[in-house]
Structure 1
Amino acid sequence: MLKFKRAIAMGVFLFGCFNLIEAAGQHNKANQEKPSRFISFKHPKINVMGRVAITDTCTEIYWNGSSITLNVARTKTVKALINDERDESYYYVIVDGQGDKAQKIKFDKGKKLYTLISNLSDDKHKIELFKIGNTDFSTTRLFGFDLDRDAKILKPDKKPKRKIEFYGNSVTSGHGVDIPLDSADSGKPQYFNNYKAYGALTARYFNAQYYCQSKSGIGLTVSWFPEVMPEIFNRLNPADVNSKWDFTSYQPDIVVVNLFQNDSWIVNMPDEMQFKARFGAIKPTENFIIKSYANFISSIRSKYPKAQIICTLGCMDITKAGSKWPSYVERAVAFLRDKKVSSYFFTYKNSNGHPKIKEQQMMADELINFIETNKYWK
């Protein structure tokens, strides 16, 4: 009888242990990551915008303002497999076009899987990866997206019919846009935000495709580094002299050029290394500067025979009272005798540092008004 009671007790004990083990197993299984579905960078339903290269192994992103978009449904999480050359590349993750709710993400050096967004509903969602950082001559490589196993890839949105393109320096790049208002100016990577710069704002207002070739510190005749815009404007990869852009693949309706800010400083700095490299010991003449600008606009015209070209300056000290640089642009435009080349100079912001969010919006409002007043888009 005693043996029988012991057997029953042992059976109850073992049954309880079995239940505990089974419950633990179910708990662990529930907490395991769900099986995923990898979407290659070559998937035909992925949309790209900007000078982006689709290679045999990945999508390469160089210029600020470039973006990659994927429409999905039935996935809680969207991840991206990224290999960045540096550890200071910043992007926006924009869900369903809600830029005001965009999440900033930093890509570190090396190949990693990054979670772009989680806790999505099963409905349709538009996921956009937008480069807000500077064109820093480094490359971000995207290998694809990792989604939930049952995810559905949807048709991409039709690209807008209108097309606009910008060539510029730090102002167009969005240098310092995200600096706190009570802080000093800074060129740190985390403070760039091309999405909030006047060019991107203008493009979104007109629902236009947006291409941006800008880099902080670049000039037309001289920069703070060896390259000048006329040497890289025709490149797919701005860091590769042999990488050429196919201009026939994107023919903008409007091209906006906002350069000369860096030239205006460096031409008065004969001891600066880049001054010496470009000009030797002799300061460039006004005629040289004007001719260089006219030649650059002619180069753009040769690529875009039908585009309206707007030559702008500002909104930093280059447009303050007494500046000669607006007259250089006006004289170059007059020399070209091209009815589809015009000039507009942004209002001088009369404050220190680079334009912040409100000043970028001011520039966008001025440019939008100029385009609408002149009926460049009907």
Structure 2
Amino acid sequence: MGNLKNLFYLISFLFFAVNTSCTTQQADLKLNYSNPQIRYEGRIDTSNVEGAELYWSGTSVKINFEGESISALMSDENGTNDFNIQLDEDSTVLLQLDTVKRYYTLASGLAPGKHTLKLFKRTEWDRGTTTFYGFKIEGNAQVLPKSPAKKRKIEFYGNSITAGYAVEDTTGKDRPSGTFTNNYLSYAAITARHFDARYHCICKSGIGIMISWFPSIMSDIYDRLNPADSASQWDFSSYTPDLVVINLFQNDSWLVNRPERDEFKANFGSNAPNDEYIIQAYQSFVAGIRDQYPQASIICMLGNMDATRTDSQWPGYIEQAVFNLDDPKIYSFFMPFKETPGHPSIEEQQAMANRLIRFIDEHIEW
């Protein structure tokens, strides 16, 4: 009799365990943004009570699941941010947000079996904050365990080239609309995918190391979680990259010749910076990155716009700064001037990625 009672308890326990598993299929399933099976990538604030806040280009939200359809509950500060919906690491669809908090259908009519969905932020942080509240999965819904964390980690600091500004504007007009900007097609994101690396992208169109087309420079925002909030500090210990790529100085190369601009007057007074000042400014920024990441390899990159034209002095400034730093894990690397108008096209971004990938293969052990 005791054996029968034990068998009954065992069957009851197994039935309870199966029916309370986090992967049990349900007709519909709602997931809060804090669900541990959701994987975030990039500088994202998940500390808020209501939802996860996304700011930076290239930040992403990923879920593995089974179901017939999936939606995301989201809102956007200004209704101007765009995302890529990537289903099963294959098809990509554009998602344009508005300011209303609502569910956006991301995929429907899905076949039975495992699916992966990723939301990837195409646009820059100056378009405002996007808040992600969670997913809704319908039709035999099941949450699957998230994929293992990627072993490699990479971080980029850059300007419009790194942001993928106007990369999809095939008219040659270099239009600023978020529809044409797509960080997913930037050399930075392509390189990270090639190495299957976790990806952080700290970028802003128009930004420089000494001077920008607006008051802030990279040293003002590089250590922020929310780049628009000077009180919002990023915890560098929460993400330690194996490799850092810095692609800055393009905007500086233009603006040091614009004494009429307010930014010039605020940063330099009435006299343009001399060579020593320029080299020291770059050197100081890289040294600050090294302080945060003592073991990382750092590539000091420039290009592919006219700061690397044949007669440009700017690659030389970077070479001198790297020489002065005297660090065997800090490298200089330059993209040739693309010699076409506007920002890099899809093909030019891919060409940059190809060159950077080769350089990493040849010089970086990670």
Name whichever of 133-142 and 291-300 sits farther off.
133-142
* 1:359 Cα offset (Å): 0.3
Partner of 2:101, secondary structure, is strand
What is aligned with 1:198? Answer: 187
What is aligned with 2:11? Answer: none
* 1:137 Cα offset (Å): 5.6
Contact 2:29 2:142 in 1 (8 A): no
What is aligned with 1:174? Answer: 164
Match of 2:333 among 333, 338, 344: 344
* 1:35 Cα offset (Å): 7.0
Contact 2:172 2:342 in 1 (8 A): no
What is aligned with 2:97? Answer: 107
In our comparison, the structure showing a higher alpha carbon Rg is 1
One-letter amino acid of the counterpart of residue 138, structure 1? G
Match of 2:32 among 40, 48, 55: 40
Contact 1:311 1:344 in 2 (8 A): yes
Find the aligned partners of 1:367 and 1:373 in 2 and give their Cα distance.
10
Match of 1:49 among 30, 41, 45: 41
Find the aligned partners of 1:177 and 1:375 in 2 and give their Cα distance.
28
Partner of 2:340, secondary structure, is coil
What is aligned with 2:77? Answer: 85
In structure 2, relative to structure 1, the CA distance for the partners of 1:137 and 1:304 (3 Å cut) is farther
Contact 1:88 1:108 in 2 (8 A): yes
Match of 2:57 among 59, 64, 86: 64
What is aligned with 2:230? Answer: 241
Moved over 3 A (4+): none
What is aligned with 1:319? Answer: 308
Match status 1:224 vs 2:213: yes
* 1:376 Cα offset (Å): 2.8
Find the aligned partners of 1:238 and 1:369 in 2 and give their Cα distance.
32
TM-score (structure 2 length as normaliser): 0.90
Match of 1:309 among 285, 298, 303: 298
Match status 1:364 vs 2:353: yes
* 1:135 Cα offset (Å): 2.6
Match status 1:120 vs 2:119: no
Match of 1:212 among 186, 195, 201: 201
Name whichever of 272-281 and 137-146 sits farther off.
272-281
Contact 2:297 2:364 in 1 (8 A): no
What is aligned with 1:354? Answer: 343
One-letter amino acid of the counterpart of residue 160, structure 2? S
Find the aligned partners of 2:365 and 2:201 in 1 and give their Cα distance.
19
Percentage identity across aligned positions? 44
Match status 1:373 vs 2:366: no
Partner of 2:352, secondary structure, is helix
Match status 1:258 vs 2:233: no
Task: Give the gaps of 5 or more residues in structure 2.
Answer: 1-25
Find the aligned partners of 1:278 and 1:301 in 2 and give their Cα distance.
24
Task: Give the gaps of 5 or more residues in structure 1.
Answer: 1-33
* 1:277 Cα offset (Å): 2.3
What is aligned with 2:145? Answer: 155
Match status 1:129 vs 2:129: no
Partner of 1:110, secondary structure, is coil
Find the aligned partners of 2:230 and 2:100 in 1 and give their Cα distance.
24
Find the aligned partners of 1:118 and 1:272 in 2 and give their Cα distance.
51
Summarize the alignment of residues 17-32 of structure 1 with structure 2, pairs less than 5 Å apart.
none
Contact 1:171 1:197 in 2 (8 A): yes
One-letter amino acid of the counterpart of residue 269, structure 2? G
One-letter amino acid of the counterpart of residue 121, structure 1? A
Partner deviation per Cα, 1:235-278 (whole Å, 9 max, x = no partner): 11101111111111111111000001111111101111222222
TM-score (structure 1 length as normaliser): 0.88
Find the aligned partners of 2:83 and 2:127 in 1 and give their Cα distance.
15
* 1:83 Cα offset (Å): 1.4
Partner deviation per Cα, 1:20-68 (whole Å, 9 max, x = no partner): xxxxxxxxxxxxxx97422100101000000001022110001001000
What is aligned with 2:5? Answer: none
* 1:160 Cα offset (Å): 1.1
What is aligned with 2:266? Answer: 277
Contact 2:68 2:139 in 1 (8 A): no
Contact 2:207 2:216 in 1 (8 A): yes
Contact 2:282 2:318 in 1 (8 A): yes
